[in-house]
Chains A and B, each alone.
Chain A
């Protein structure tokens, strides 16, 4: 059974720091991996999606990498800002068309000014 783990569970950093969030999964046979952001009391916003054939994706200050063979993904946030404070969720899609995502429990990030 696929399991997704995110470490650390919580992270506090001062504004301006570059940081890395980690995601690991137990079964390397994934179709894609998605990173989401969730603000308190809100829904999930998709940040980046990496297909299984890709190694990384970039959007602005965000860069996500994927190493299927080792079952790992990282989300790199450059020059963090207080507005980046949120919970970041990693999820993998493992099945055929239509099957759902399996989520990690998230990393809660707090960026202080």
Chain B
């Protein structure tokens, strides 16, 4: 039982490049989330999903897109990276529908955009 895993762990992009971050969970959780963590700002929600095929915007969605084609996977895409997207990205998942909604986090992806 690996919990929540994220790939890659580190990435350096040039401004304007694109990339996709992959999150996978093996706990059969309905809900999945993408957060970013910046110094002095805390963790902020980018997008989330309440089930396969569904996504919704969070607090800071601009510049990002997401997809949830399979229940266990949640992808975060940057179409045209900007230096302001330099951050640590965390994926999380939780149960729903009568569960505790306790969120479990992945180890993070450190992204630098130059």
Question: Which residues does A use to contact B, with CB under 8 Å?
Answer: 31-32, 34, 36, 42-46, 49, 51, 89, 91, 93, 97-101, 103-106
Contact = CB atoms under 8 A, between A and B. Distances in A.
Interface of B: 30-31, 33, 35, 40-45, 48-50, 56, 58, 90, 92, 96-97, 100-108
A49 B103 CA distance: 9
A83 B88 CA distance: 24
Given A43-B108, A46-B103, A46-B105, 14 more contacts: A31-B101, A32-B100, A32-B101, A32-B102, A45-B105, A49-B100, A89-B42, A97-B96, A98-B48, A98-B56, A99-B48, A103-B42, A103-B43, A105-B40
Contacts of B105: 36, 43-46
Contacts of A31: 101
Chain A at the B interface: mostly helix, strand, loop or mixed? Answer: strand
B102 A98 contact: no
A105 B42 CA distance: 5
A98 B103 CA distance: 10
